[in-house]
């Protein structure tokens, strides 16, 4: 596989602190903006780090749960804001102990197939945590929330999940990394959400049966005291070693207009989904 991590220029946009108080919907708009910019050759390959306060991001299938309103009410009662994304995937927990990384590449010169996209992110994570690189495995962890063929685990316990987004010849490979906190507690929240939202009813779509014990944070798995901010710093240093030049910072003035367009679209889609309940 081509070494996509080695770039002449990497752009690094850190929102691991500045984004905490903002809605995850803003992050979806940011990634759409970066896909557009990188895909159209208006920006170099980019990595964005982002963290949000207590939220649960739901997918389209979650929105179709027979008692979704009661499920969302449960999340709010537990202190988590439910967000509906207009894409695939299932419920994912975000909180200050979960670091999200978006890796945005261009497909203008050559297509990046889905499996290659996943492998690029797996390689990045192994480079980010060399002390356990040989123990990290990628396969579906049955009983986890938002299960997928590229769940990342150590000794059978999932600590990360990967997704992809394609737009305007750009591809955003996104991962959530449970760094701090309890993987079991996050999984219990999602388990309770599905139980309340299903109430034992049979559905065409097979929702996951959550087994909290199959999920953990990296701190729990490594028996270390890693922090989200420490991981962001390590990632920054890694990118320096993988490029000839680093560009650091937020969107520029001329890019903000594009972001405003994508944010409006994301907000409208989310409102449309909510109004269908």
pLDDT of residue 36: 97
Instruction: Tell me which residue of 4, 42, 30 sits closest to 101, measured CA to CA.
Output: 30
d(CA 234, CA 231): 5
> What average pLDDT does the structure give for the chain?
95
Instruction: Tell me which residue of 270, 275, 273, 245 sits closest to 8, measured CA to CA.
Output: 245
What tens digit of pLDDT does each residue of 15-31 get?
A: 999 999 999 999 999 99
Contact between 56 and 82 under an 8 Å Cβ cutoff? The reply is yes
- Model confidence at 276: pLDDT above 70: no
Would you say residue 197 lies in a domain? Answer: no
Q: What average pLDDT score do residues 245-262 get? A: 95
Catalytic residue among 74, 92, 146, 189: 146
pLDDT of residue 224: 85
Would you say residue 139 lies in a domain? Answer: no
pLDDT of residue 269: 86
Would you say residue 54 lies in a domain? Answer: yes
How many domains does the chain divide into?
1
Would you say residue 165 lies in a domain? Answer: yes
% helix / strand / coil in the chain, to the nearest 5? 40, 25, 35
- Model confidence at 35: pLDDT above 70: yes
pLDDT band at 277 (very low <50, low <70, confident <90, very high): low
- Model confidence at 4: pLDDT above 70: yes
d(CA 51, CA 43): 23
pLDDT of residue 220: 96
Q: What average pLDDT score do residues 155-167 get? A: 96
> What's the number of CA atoms in the CB half-sphere (13 Å) around residue 188?
7
SS3 assignment for 114-156: HHHHHHHHHHHHHHHCHHHHHHEEECCCCCCCCCCCCCEEECC
Would you say residue 111 lies in a domain? Answer: yes
pLDDT of residue 85: 82
**Is 146 among the catalytic positions?**
yes
- Model confidence at 5: pLDDT above 80: yes
d(CA 199, CA 65): 10
What tens digit of pLDDT does each residue of 91-110 get?
A: 999 999 999 999 999 999 99
- Model confidence at 1: pLDDT above 90: no
Would you say residue 253 lies in a domain? Answer: yes
- Model confidence at 87: pLDDT above 90: no
CATH of residue 169's domain is: 3.30.930.10
Which residues span the domain enclosing 51? 7-62+72-132+159-178+224-275
Q: What average pLDDT score do residues 34-50 get? A: 97
Would you say residue 174 lies in a domain? Answer: yes
Would you say residue 183 lies in a domain? Answer: no
């Amino acid at each position: 596989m081509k070494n996509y991590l080695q770039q002449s220029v990497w752009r690094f946009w850190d929102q691991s602190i500045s984004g905490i108080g903002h809605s995850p919907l803003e992050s979806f708009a940011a990634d759409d903006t970066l896909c557009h910019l990188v895909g159209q050759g208006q920006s170099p390959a980019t990595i964005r780090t982002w963290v949000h306060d207590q939220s649960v991001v739901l997918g389209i299938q979650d929105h179709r749960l027979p008692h979704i309103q009661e499920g969302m009410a449960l999340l709010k009662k537990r202190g988590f804001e439910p967000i509906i994304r207009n894409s695939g995937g299932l419920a994912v927990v975000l909180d200050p102990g979960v670091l999200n990384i978006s890796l945005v590449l261009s497909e203008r010169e050559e297509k990046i197939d889905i499996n290659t996209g996943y492998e690029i992110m797996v390689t990045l994570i192994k480079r980010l945590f060399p002390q356990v690189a040989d123990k990290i495995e990628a396969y579906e962890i049955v009983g986890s929330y938002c299960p997928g063929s590229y769940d990342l685990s150590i000794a059978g316990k999932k600590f990360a999940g990967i997704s992809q987004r394609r737009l305007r010849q750009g591809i955003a490979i996104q991962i959530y990394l449970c760094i701090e906190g309890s993987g079991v507690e996050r999984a219990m929240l999602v388990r309770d959400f599905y139980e309340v939202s299903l109430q034992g009813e049979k559905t065409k779509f097979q929702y996951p049966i959550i087994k909290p014990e199959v999920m953990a944070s990296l701190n729990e798995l490594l028996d270390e005291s890693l922090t989200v901010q420490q991981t962001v710093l390590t990632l920054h240093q890694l990118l320096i070693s993988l490029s000839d030049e680093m560009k650091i910072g937020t969107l520029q003035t001329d890019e903000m207009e594009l972001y405003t367009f994508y944010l409006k679209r994301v907000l409208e889609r989310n409102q449309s989904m909510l109004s269908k309940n």
